Structure 1
Amino acid sequence: MRRIAMVLALALAPVQLATPAAAQDHPDFSGFWAPEFGEVERPQDLLDKLPAGVGMVEDTGVLEFPRGEFGELVLTPEALAYAENWRPENDMTLDRVCLAPSIVYAIQGPFPWEVFQTNELIVFKYEYFDQTRLIFMDGRDHPGDDFPHSKMGFSTGYWDGDELVVDTTHIAASTITNNGLDHTDDIHMIERYRLSDDGKRLMATQWFSDPAVIENDGARFISWAAREGEHVYPYECDPTFALEYAARGGD
């Protein structure tokens, strides 16, 4: 009888469901985020967590550097020679104009994105070139050298207090500043994301290192505003834009 009573007690006990991410001791970044342009508040304590000696890249949003401008980045002689020979028309061709950039450049673009958050996986869905990024929060390590590279790379994440730290490797070679400065497959990127106190802004620092092309490490500060009820749209890049660009004489 005692065994039967124990079985009944277990059967009737309430089921313990998994606690959603928002109910944990971590902020919930879920939702739609639109980039903020112009002068925005930059928490100094967040900037102070960047490694010493980084070169800031102030090209966030609609601003793009002209030829020969790379912010505070110090290029290697080989990377500088390549950038000096680069011309915008090199990339404004039918076969190249719709090639997606890597996350190193895409993160600062003037397009919104969405966050879908769980305890073990966070998904970043970008409107820019319809790209989707997986942030593994389950404690796994980065894969080995034989793992394929991609424009989004391989990202693992963890919580440092109220900040989400994302560590990304295996990023396929692409652009850093979209004016002839390209990174290699060996670039390493770390981001820190933090909500404002009122939850209406999401702020981040981006750090990256690629000794083959920059002699110092690079960094950006980026900020987005919450927009409830909105969603990203399909990007649907049209390569005939390259023909229009040529017809305008490259303007």
Structure 2
Amino acid sequence: MPRFEDRTAVVTGATKGLGRDTALLMAAEGGRVVGVGRDAADGESLERAARDLPGEVVFLAGDVRDERCHERAVALCRDRFGRLDAYVNNAGILGPEGPLHETGLEAWEEVNAVNMRGTFLGCRAAVRAMRGVGGGAIVNIGSILSISADPFLTSYTATKHGVLGLTRAIAVDYATDGIRCNCVLPGDMETPMIVEYFAASDDPEATRAEMEGAYPIKRIARPEEVARAVLFLASAEASYVTGAELLVDGGLCAKAY
């Protein structure tokens, strides 16, 4: 039996990278998904990719910084599929790289607006929809930088710590409503964000080699590998899992040096 059959979900940041792979994996496992993103052309591509899958993906254009985006996503999921079972807050940005004393307020606020405000708004919309109707699952996408730090990624690190804290608070506050909230902590993945990071370096090949060499598994993740962890936490298989952080990092955080 497909692992997500007849279940419904909203996935933000669904047109690229981990979000796209998560939406398509859910549909491949029989789920019905509202995929939220900002680019209409990418949204059409996502819908085409899901066309022959057992489930369904419908695209919704929106910006996660806008609370109406999340309200519309919940409403569309309910109207189209009858209910909301899971909400995946995946949308995020890396932001500027540099020391704190050189970080501008505008750059700091942009990263916070997407990573923290966007996740908060998604969680709030999901909780409001799930309370009183049997609950559901919220999966937030954190990072290995939710529990560690990386030089000169102050804004990103701070927001990803915040995402984990928000996850734990929701898990504790709404457990009796049947709402589970968990956080997936990926390491580096083959996504447009990391490709742009490599391209911005002086020597992209050397930067990639250095990064991959730090992982015990000696490579960075494919997004679909992380999407499987998201699917698990969003599914009924994780019925007793809440307030947890699930590392999907190729062993990086287990290593001292």
TM-score (norm 2): 0.26
Rg (Cα) greater in structure: 1
Higher strand share: 1
TM-score (norm 1): 0.26
Higher helix share: 2
